[in-house]
Structure 1
Amino acid sequence: MSVKVVIIGGGSSYTPEIIEGFIQRYDSFPVSNITLVDIEEGNDKLETVGALAQRMIAKASVPIKLEWTLDRREALIGADFVTAQIRVGGLSAREKDERIPLSHGVIGQETNGPGGIFKAFRTIPVLMDICEDIHDICPSAWLINFTNPAGIVTEALLKNSKHDKVIGVCNIPFNMKNSVAEMMNCYPNEVQIEFLGMNHFVFGKRVFIKGVDKTQEVLEKLMKKEIDFSPANIVSLGWSAEFIQSLQMLPNPYHQYYFQTDEVLEKDLKAFRENGTRAEVVRKVEKELFIQYQDEALNEKPKELEKRGGAYYSDAACSLMVSIYNNSLDIQTVNTFNKGAIPDLPVDSVIEVNAVITKEGPMPLAVGSIPLSVKGMIQQMKALEELVIRAALTGDYFEAYQAMVMNPLVPNEKTAKILLDELLEAHKQFLPQFN
């Protein structure tokens, strides 16, 4: 049986990683066709990445036909799986998401705080259009979204688009499992973490090694700072023993924005003064990567790709597609409808949760009520996500203002208005719904 995968955002520097994933999994996921899609502004990168992907496939001697195009609707014909890895406005937009908040003494980060809100505002309408095309052209295809903010985007699509076969993935649960495995001297597939919460605001409630509850042992090592599961884009500040002892759960790297706000802001401002925004750092990394990609002797994913903060997103996405295709009934961590897995949140809200992966999609596993220590924050963050989605779809100024005011990283309502107005002006080219 032939399998066609369409990669939207195919000119991304991450694409060699997902190509490597398909090659490694060919025996269990026999992809016959891969089509890379991008927009006109990304054509040069698309040509470069396409040529590298072609060399990788030739080296592996797998019978995969690879194409690349700027015609999205043509590419979608016959697709079984579609992945989305887009960045509306490119790194220039990310730089504004980071620089403008920092200029007002607010954390500037691309998926949290004001920057995350505006990335969602730019991204949701574009992915709504993509879902419209998928529903019209290949309605049975699964959309695997790892465009950030992944949880918000996935909820927006599942609730508001015509296409309901949408699953979000993130590399943070993957990173956390691998870090625990390293710390506990075992294989990652022997680690199972019970996740509770939403994308970038998820906690590890319990940790099992080979089916045995090792939560306390892992927490003790975390208190002794024997573990660091931060991706390349987040410098870990470490956690106090008191915080971990009281929390009794694994925090994820993004939690430092909320629980160590002053320290993170100080660190980010220092980095901003010395090296510019994270977007500027990434631009340099990407430039170096694409110089390598253009080398006709290169026929594998370069190690330097792991310097990107989103490294291993593709691994999670590939594993998910393999399990859907094979009806594997294994457990993976995905962004999908709650369906009662967390009774304290609406059943139709999207959470990041362990789920049994079937050919019909994910079946979320019950994780129980939210511990009182983080219940209020998780419910607030979920309400914030809903406000962001509403504003992104309606273009209503006051709904956008509500979202900005309710964000825990925005200190007060006056700063919220300043940030909202400056970011709306800075991004107006990519926010037609607000004009």
Structure 2
Amino acid sequence: MKLTVVGGGSTYTPELIDGFARLRDTLPVEELVLLDPAAERLELVGGLARRIFARTGHPGRVVTTGDLDEAVEGADAVLLQLRVGGQAAREQDETWPLECGCVGQETTGAGGLAKALRTVPVVLDIAERVRRTNPRAWIIDFTNPVGIVTRALLKEGHRAVGLCNVAIGFQRKFAALLGVTPADVHLDHVGLNHLTWETGVRLGGPEGENVLPELLTEHDEAIAADLRLPRSLVNRLGVVPSYYLRYYYAHDEVVRELRTKPSRATEVAAMERELLRMYGDPALEEKPALLARRGGAFYSEAAVDLAAALLGGSGSPYQVVNAYNHGTLPFLPDDAVIEVQAAVGPHGPTPLPVPAVDPLYAGLMANVTAYEELALDAALRGGRDRVFRALLSHPLIGQYDYADALTDRLIAHNREHLAWA
């Protein structure tokens, strides 16, 4: 089995390597190709990857390259984890929206749109070259904004599934609170990427007992603290929202916070410099503890599970993925990309039936789905008016003067990445 990681020079990658090493019975990788144009970073990460494999006795071969066609030739699956513009672009995404009183975040709101505009054309070019070289390969997208990027891939007919670590993080958290194994916990997870709610927590599978009421009764304080939302709100909702919902439920509070502290991009850039220094140490043979602060918790487990299921291995039969709606949520278009539990196998994901969704959540999902459609149109066809329409439609913006000002800033800060600007 050959797997290719596009963006293999990312400081995330040792988390993925650690998962491949620990879970090699689930996903027996024979050749792992790390692709990245940043040769120096790639060699540091690749060296650590080889040492992790060697320490754990993994028989697989780790190859590093900057040649995309070589990297994907014969690959069974291609994992996308790239960041167009690097942390410098992320720093901008998190900064200039604040000038207009809007949240600055790399996947949500105006910053998320900027990332989509930079990313979608690059990902589609990569996917087309994968299809020409190896049309049967699965593309697993971990590149944000996952929902928009996955929708772009599916719209062009690629064999693609989107993946996020939010659901697996909740699964692990709830399992610990309940004193059971993660495999015992099945989430009723519904929404769009980075706009999701846990409406049920079931023991043993999709038909198992829903213990969410018990969780909220006994652990509401801990759950609310993790979300940085009031305990009273979580109890009133009766569900567990993703921590990304704080940008919606407490937008102005978040803006005030973001204006008073360094951006997350600044923190991550400092961590990346230290991580790369550590990766260069030939004595390091495991992922360092610092990597846990970088983000992407449980990414490796989720990626291994998904790849194994898609490639006919022993992956879990039900997984939370990003896939076409196809009537699962009747209030959304069939070609919307939703994030729900799905049955996953070699033919791809099939979303499981979802009970009727409370209008409180369905309305916001419909609004953001419309934004994502307009965002994808702007990413594919460009133009100031399309950017403006996408921004005006977003529930965190929604005012024409904000949308106008944000459009000007977005274009000014991203001109080098926008072919039409």
Length-normalised TM-score, structure 2: 0.96
Matches within 5 A, 1:86-235: 86-159=82-155, 161-163=156-158, 165-210=159-204, 211-221=208-218, 224-227=220-223, 230=226
Q: Percent identity?
A: 39
Q: Is 1:64 aligned to 2:51, yes or no?
A: no
How far apart in 1 are the matches of 2:355 and 2:178?
Answer: 26
2:230 counterpart (239, 245, 254): 239
Q: Is the Cα–Cα contact under 8 Å of residues 20 and 300 in structure 2 kept in the other structure?
A: no
Give the partner amino acid of 2:228: L
Q: Is 1:307 aligned to 2:288, yes or no?
A: no
Give the partner amino acid of 1:123: T
Deviation string, structure 1 residues 279-338 (Cα, Å, up to 9, x no partner): 011001111111111110001111211101223223211111112223556111000111
Q: Tell me the residue number matched to 2:30.
A: 32
Deviation string, structure 1 residues 110-169 (Cα, Å, up to 9, x no partner): 00010001100000000000110111001111001000011111011101x242x10000
Offset, 1:212: 1.6
1:330 counterpart (293, 317, 326): 317
Matches within 5 A, 1:303-382: 303-326=289-312, 328=314, 330-382=317-369
Residue 139 of structure 1: SS of its match in structure 2?
Answer: coil
How far apart in 1 are the matches of 2:12 and 2:60?
Answer: 19
Q: Tell me the residue number matched to 1:257.
A: 247
Offset, 1:19: 1.1
Offset, 1:399: 1.4
How far apart in 1 are the matches of 2:104 and 2:346?
Answer: 39
Q: Is the Cα–Cα contact under 8 Å of residues 355 and 364 in structure 1 kept in the other structure?
A: yes
Give the partner amino acid of 2:181: Y
Q: Tell me the residue number matched to 1:83.
A: 79
Length-normalised TM-score, structure 1: 0.93
Q: Is 1:277 aligned to 2:263, yes or no?
A: yes
How far apart in 2 are the matches of 1:399 and 1:285?
Answer: 36
User: Pairwise CA RMSD of aligned residues?
Assistant: 1.5
Deviation string, structure 1 residues 44-86 (Cα, Å, up to 9, x no partner): 1111001111111111222211111111011111110100000
How far apart in 2 are the matches of 1:197 and 1:252?
Answer: 10
Residue 109 of structure 1: SS of its match in structure 2?
Answer: coil
How far apart in 1 are the matches of 2:215 and 2:268?
Answer: 32
Offset, 1:229: 8.1
How far apart in 2 are the matches of 1:263 and 1:23?
Answer: 42
| Distance of aligned partners of 1:79 and 1:216 in 2 relative to their CA distance in 1, 3 Å threshold | same
Offset, 1:217: 1.1
Aligned length: 417
Give the partner amino acid of 1:199: N
How far apart in 2 are the matches of 1:43 and 1:115?
Answer: 28
Give the partner amino acid of 2:254: V
- The answer for unaligned runs of 5 or more in structure 1 is 231-235
Q: Tell me the residue number matched to 1:8.
A: 6
How far apart in 1 are the matches of 2:391 and 2:23?
Answer: 43
- The answer for unaligned runs of 5 or more in structure 2 is none
